[in-house]
Each structure stands twice: as C-alpha cells, then as structure tokens.
Structure 1
C-alpha cells in the first residue's frame, strides 16, 4: 500500500513539474521582446504554410530556452524531437536524427555549441538545402550518396554563443538573446507556479522568493518547492517569515547568494585582503574546481557588483566588502 502511495506521489510531483512549463507564448512570462519577435516569425510561417526559419536561443542557463523550443512546436502544432550537442559526436549520429524527422517537425538541439565539428559541417547543408551527403564505403572506393530530408525547423540553444562557428551561426534565420528577469517578472513566475503546485503564498512571500532568485525562473521554481516543503512539514502559512526561515535553512541569503558564493566572496575579502587573486588560487582556497568557480559562482557575483575581474585577478568591490560585513580599506 505504501508503495502505491509513493508511486502516486511521485507521479503527482512529475505532473507538477510538467505543469510549471508554459505551453504557449501567451503563458510565457518575461522576455517580452523575444516573445513578440518569435510570435511574428511563427505567425508569418503559418500564414505562408512554410516551415519557419531556424531559430537560435542564446543566454544563461535557466531562462527558458528549452521551454521556448517546446512552445515553438506547440504553436506550430508539430512534433518535437529533442537532443543535445554532447550526444552528437559523429556525423552519423546527426544523420540518423535528421533522417528520422517528419515533415515540419521541430528539432531541438540543446548546448548546440558542443557538437562535433564533423556534425556541424553536415548540419550546414541540412539547414540550407534539407539534404545531407552520406559516405558509403571506405578508402578509395568510398562514394558520397545524397539523402533528401523532410523540411524541418531547427531550434538551437546555447549558453555560449561565441563558441558557435560563424558558418553555423549565420544559417539561423532568427537569433534570440534571452536576458535575466526583473524581480517583478519573477514575482509573476512564482505566483503562477505556486497556484499550479497548490501552495498558497502571500504577496510578501512571492516577492521574497523573487528577490532571491538571481534573475532566473528555474531558481525561482526550485526555491518555491523548498519553501512549500518547509511550510508543509512545519504547518506554516506561505508568508514572508516562512520564506525567510526556509531559505535560511538552505543557506540562501537576502541577495540570493548560497554557501559557496559567500565562501568565495569571504575568501577574497578576508584571506586575500580584497584581491587581486588568481582563479586557481581562489579555487584551492575554497576547495572547489576552477571551472565551478568560473562558470557557476563568478558570473552572479560580477553581475551583482560584488566582485570584479581584472587582468591581475579577482577583486572584491566595496559592495562585496559590505556584504561580508567587513569595512573596506580606505584608499590612499
């Protein structure tokens, strides 16, 4: 009996997760300019009865690139095939995916900048002419056989658009640059999600979660679920005090910094007198990998003005000193 209840709870939770994703541009919160541009592109393609131009979605993680790809397929009323750049390590992998597409299908490639170079070169021809050349045989007897493809729309997502080669980037008819959300937009995200997971939040509770979500809807939804769990276990209402207590338990402070963020900032201020300090030295001092500091921690600290990157290393700003609670040194 307990197993059946557990399975039902798990299925219910998965249902909530799926329900948090908007299914149309009208439901999608934020990115107003991108929504208008994308809506025009899809409406025009529908009126012309043609497949839309290929779409590139660029921006930091958690801003809705995958959700927008699903919305594109939903708005076109076409199936969606999802894959990722790291999964396509050979031209044959891409050929297998492309040859299986049905007419008008939407192909979503996440982290498209991590595809193998040979697959990228095959993708050039597929995006322009909807065909690929398959090599049959080996050595001097190898021959190239053209394979016609059904018309499709490619939606590529990347967190590092600068790593895409120019020939691939130029073949996208529309490039959308997703930006971080404002607190007001995140409040709308949290309010909508709280209704979907059936957890009542006060306006102050909604704003408290939004303020700590680092401009990212994915983080807002994650914090909302942790607050819901805390309120459920302790039988507390979803007000600001419950949000503060729950996020204090999970080491998320008023500015959205977590334990590792504060460790890095405190190390720069207290161990290295505000910097400059090199990335590898800083990583060793907090016991983390350099890649984690550079890709996960540093972007948010720099964006919020707590840390600065200089040619000599990382330097704590005046705001960074104040956040740690240490008086910054007086400039000579």
Structure 2
C-alpha cells in the first residue's frame, strides 16, 4: 500500500492518541500460537501447560534463561493467560530481604502465577526462603531475635513461579533444581526476525515491503526487542519524511541512529576502533580497553563483548581481548603483520 504522495502508507491500525507504552504492549504476542521463534521452548511449554490443564493442577515452576530481549517476560505473561491464571509481577532487585518475599507470597491467591524477573538478583535470605515455598508451599517467618526468636509457619496456596534470568550461572543450584522446567532462549535468525517485524509493522500501521523488513532484521542482533525498537525509529522517520521510499527510509533512519549494516552501534565501533588503533588489535586487558573509550568495564563485558564475540569481531585469549580479521575488514583497516586472527 502506498500513500497519495507515492511513499509507504502509515495507516491508523491503532487508536489515535495511543502512547508509546501502549504500542509496546500491543507488540507482545498474547498466546503461544502467536509467538514467533523459540520453537523448541514453545513446544515444551505447550506440553507442560496442556498436561497441567488436563490433570487440573497448577503448572510446575518455570525458569526462562537467556540474553535480554528474547521474550522471557512475554512468555511469562503467556503462561498465565494460557493456564487461565492471574499474574503477579515482581523483580529480583525489588526483593531485598526475606520480608519482601514473605509479603509477596502471602498475598497470592490459589493458582496465581508469580513472575520474578532477574531472579538471580534476589537477596540471599529471600532466595533461601523460596526453596521451601516452591517445594512445600509454605514459609517459616522468624519473629523476634536471639534466644526469644520464634518460627511461625505460614501455609501458602498452590502457585506457579516463573523466573527469568540473563545469568543462569548466578542462580544457586538448590533454587535452579526446584524449577520443573527450564527454557533456554536463543537468538533469533533473520528469517524469524522478519516475521516478527512483519507482525509489528502491521500493528504499528506500517506497510513495508519484505526487503525493508529484511534490512531491519539484519541489523537487530538476533533480538526481537531491538528489531521492534529499530522499526519504531523507521516509523518516526517516515512520519517526518513521508515521501521517502521504504528501503531508503530504513537506511537513513538507522544511519541516523548509528546502527550499521552488521548491527553495530556507536559503542561497538568505538570498542573495535580503540582495540585496532590504540592497541594494534590486542591483546589488551578489559580495564585498559574500557578506560581508553571512557566506559565502565562491566558495561563492556555485559553489553558489548557478547555481541562482538558472537559476530566474530573479537576473541578472548589468556592474554586479553584481541580483534579478528573480520574487525579489521569491517572498519576498513589493514591488519598488521603481527596481528593474530
């Protein structure tokens, strides 16, 4: 569909006055049949929920593990809807001591789904309380201190805990073992992201050809959240420049926001440029690399490095971080003769 000026049409697929938060909510799939990608996890989850429904019991506790933006929160919402249960949302950082968790658990209704995002960041005391709650549906609350302290058992209604974590290794083994099912989410292929973007474009009222959607998918780092974010920036560009053809709008919008053809952003390229230009391709320690670009070492390790390593631009060696031949080629530099690839 095209507009009267020949450019791509932007239709009123959503009510006028809808804010960005409502857009985000509309982009989330609402059931497993609508969920794109993660086929193995979706099939396993479908079996788990159907078995629980047939047996008329509360579904087992579920853990979703994987990098940010792959759909862990969306799947938690789908679990509640598919099983016909109420959903309670919380997060690990918000549960700073056992009392916070006790208050949360004691307010649950029978069969409710409790979703705890970033569950590995819960306080240790709360995590230990969760062991008994998950297994026996009760918690022991300590009243008083010292020799006069008394333990009061509190019975809990059956519930389903859905946890999400980006750092599975930080979960204690006793907690991890109490989940009946663990779904490991993987990065999306470009074809899957194109399908996600096609659905999102329709919801946002954008009529984009497949070539334009493919271009966005290729720059989305295998992550639906990033794909949808870039799609909204393309939408903004078309609103401001309605006569631009779709593919040109994609290229112009993403260039404006410093997202190149491989999905690298400004920070990614800054890291690679520092590694090549200041350290001759490495090896170099993480701290030195972070200082050279004025960023925090933890940010580089958690946000930048995983993508650069996965795309083959960087490797970790016992001596430090090193650039590969692909990094030299992507930034248009000629590798030094001493550079190991």
Q: Structures share a fold, TM > 0.5?
A: yes
Q: For the Cα contact (< 8 Å) 1:122–1:132, is it kept in 2?
A: yes
1:201–1:238: 8 Å Cα contact kept in structure 2?
Answer: no
C-alpha displacement of 1:254: 0.1
Q: Which secondary structure state, in structure 2, belongs to the residue aligned with residue 70 of structure 1?
A: helix
1:125 aligns with 2:139: no
Distance (Å, rounded) in 1 between the aligned partners of 2:223 and 2:31 = 19
- Per-residue displacement from partner, 1:114-138 (whole Å, max 9, x unpaired)? 1111101100000000000011222
Q: Displacement, 1:298?
A: 0.7
| SS of 1:56 mapped into structure 2 | strand
- Select between 283-292 and 238-247 the one with higher mean Cα deviation: 238-247
Report matched runs for 1:103-142 at 5 Å.
103-142=110-149
The residue aligned with 2:76 is: 69
Unaligned 5+ runs, structure 2: 1-14
* Aligned: 1:274 with 2:273: no
User: Using the alignment, how far apart are the partners of 2:244 and 2:149 within structure 1?
Assistant: 70
Q: Deviations over 1:286-314 (max 9, x none)?
A: 11111111111111000000011111111
* Pairing partner for 1:214 from 206, 212, 221: 221
* Deviation, structure 1 residue 12: 3.9
More displaced stretch, 12-21 vs 124-133: 12-21
TM-superposed CA distance for 1:140, in Å, is 1.3
Q: Report the number of matched residues.
A: 325
Which residue of 2 is the match for residue 176 of structure 1?
183
Q: Tell me the CA shift for residue 236 of structure 1.
A: 3.4
1:96 correspondence with 2:100: no
Q: 2:164 aligns with which of 131, 134, 157?
A: 157
- Note if 1:324 corresponds to 2:338: no
**Residue 194 of structure 1, aligned match among 190, 201, 205:** 201
Structure 1 unaligned blocks of 5 or more = 1-7
Note the C-alpha offset of 1:238: 5.7
Aligned to 1:4: none
Per the alignment, residue 8 of structure 2 pairs with none
Distance 2:311 2:291 in 1: 24
CA distance in 1: counterparts of 2:285 and 2:61, whole angstroms: 41
Distance in 2 (alpha carbons) for counterparts of 1:229 and 1:217: 18
Does residue 1:230 correspond to 2:233, yes or no? no
The answer to which of 11-20 and 45-54 deviates more is 11-20
Deviation at 1:331, TM superposition (A): 5.2
State the partner residue of 1:41.
Answer: 48
Secondary structure class of the residue paired with 2:300: helix
2 CA distance for matches of 1:22 and 1:305? Answer: 32
Q: 1:145, 1:331 → 2: CA distance?
A: 68
Query: 1:226, CA displacement in angstroms?
Result: 0.2
Say which structure, 1 or 2, has more relative contact order (CA 8 Å, 6+ apart).
Answer: 2
Structure showing the higher helix proportion among its residues:
1
Q: 80, 91, 94: which is aligned to 1:87?
A: 94
Q: 1:236–1:314: structure 2 CA closer, same or farther, 3 Å change rule?
A: farther
RMSD of aligned alpha carbons = 1.2
Instruction: State the Cα deviation string for residues 139-171 of structure 1 (Å, max 9, x = none).
Output: 211111110001000000000000100000000
Per the TM alignment, residue 330 of structure 1 is displaced from its structure 2 partner at its CA by: 3.2
Question: Which of the residues 183, 192, 199 maps onto 1:185?
Answer: 192
Name 1:5's counterpart in structure 2.
none
